[in-house]
Amino acid sequence: MSKPKGFEKPIGVKDYLPHAVSKLRTIERNVLACMERWGYEQIITPTLEYYDTVGVASATSDQKLFKLLNQRGTTIVLRSDMTAPIARVVGSLLKDHPLPLRLSYHANVFRAFEEEAGRDAEFFQTGVELVGDPSPEADAEIVALAIASLQAAGVKSFKLALGHVGFLNGLFEETLPGRTAEQELLKSCLLQRDHVGYRRELQALAIDESLRHELADILRLRGGQEVCEQARQLSRSTKVQQAMEHLCEVWDVLAAYGVQEHVLIDLTMIGDFTYYTGMTFEGYASNLGFPVCSGGRYDNLLAGFGRPAPATGFALKTTRILEVAEEENRRLARTIILYVPNRRAEALAAASKLRADGRIVVTALTDESSAARAQQAAGSGKPYVHQGVAYEEWIVFGGREGGGRA
């Protein structure tokens, strides 16, 4: 392998230039503020975790984990999600705090992919975890907050698809009893949203034609509350009935929130983490093929950290939202203060005062002739350009006193 060039970086990671960073920080700030208004407190966890604890519990496959050895030979990992690290904290540092807990975060996470198009090895997530409440009300709160967070991030057009792992698990256990490998194959197709592959696998199964049609019909189970009723008629499995009852209650609470226009029920939705135990969802923005948020219920994860508790949550794919979020109209004007050497103290004092007032101020040493030209530019109606950067406002200490504004 050839030595990387000085400007090269590993595949799957990005440099974020100032404009993108400004937009990313705006999204982060607005979303975290939204979450705080809903009662969620921010938490920060380490980038590095032990493989045998958080690495295993994350449910990210081994080949997608970045693993390292520390000086003692212990395997550690770069965190691949935030849910497992937060579960570790809830079971340790927060073990004496009463439930429910509402926690939020913004962090970079890492997953190793095989140079797949559009997949980043490092990306940012902003999300929440609601720990200690098993109710449909809690699941609905998470979905409603995901909607509010996407709006706070500047995503104008999106839909959230809700499913329930209990529906598919119950249906497949009833229709394909004991055939675990075939069940997992069908679930894998649904997880990849590969409906053509799902129908192909159904055709290959040695089952009655009526059962084949029944399993193919679940691809049509997308819509509103009527989908829950259709699913109840499809199977008498206790697991299916309980899943549909829970999902219908979530739907009713979302109606009370007034956000049903952003939501549809999709019973082929199963979530991409094995720790999901109930309701799951994904959010899609217009004109973007990848989901911009995902979440669901994971009632078994906390037990692995010594504090069994139901939990539900979601994460915004903050890096992807950069592509679809609308820019905020307001932008602070940039001011430049130009000064000649014998006016330095006055100029820098003026800059400090303006910065204390929240202004963006750049200072630059100049000479008398340049200061005079800057004064002449006042009143032109155009920004003042200094070293290739345009400034809406400028103040000059030198030559004639004063300044200008575009």
> Per residue in 346-386, pLDDT tens?
999 999 999 999 899 999 999 998 888 888 887 777 888 88
Tokens matching residue 302: 């906390």
Check whether 144 has a pLDDT greater than 90.
Answer: yes
User: Is there a cis peptide before residue 310, judged by omega within 30 degrees of 0?
Assistant: no
Judge contact between 387 and 365, C-beta under 8 A: no
pTM: 0.87
Cα gap 195→271, rounded to integer Å: 15
Summary mean pLDDT of the chain: 89
Backbone φ and ψ for 235, nearest 5 degrees, come out as -145, 145
Using alpha carbons, list the distances in angstroms from residue 297 to 138, 243, 256, 316. Answer: 10, 12, 21, 16
Q: List all residues 6 or more positions away from 188 whose beta carbon is below 8 Å from its beta carbon.
A: none
Q: What is the pLDDT of residues 28-83, one digit of tens each?
A: 999 999 999 999 999 999 999 999 999 988 878 888 899 999 999 999 999 999 99
Which long-range CB contacts under 8 A does 203-206 form with residues at least 24 apart? 205/176
How far is Cα of residue 214 from the mean position of the Cα atoms in its chain? 35
- pLDDT attached to residue 74: 94
* 406 — pLDDT class (breaks 50, 70, 90): very low
Considering only 167-176, 195-204, 355-364, 379-388, which range has the smallest mean pLDDT?
A: 379-388
Distance of alpha carbon 236 from alpha carbon 246, whole angstroms = 15
Instruction: Check if the beta carbon of residue 35 is closer than 8 Å to that of residue 145.
Output: yes
Q: Roughly how many angstroms between the first and final C-alpha of the chain, as a whole number?
A: 54
What is the SS3 assignment for 288?
coil
Q: Where are the beta strands (DSSP E) in 180-310?
A: 222-223, 263-266, 279-285, 291-297
DSSP 290: S
Radius of gyration in angstroms for the set of CA atoms belonging to the chain, rounded to a whole number: 27
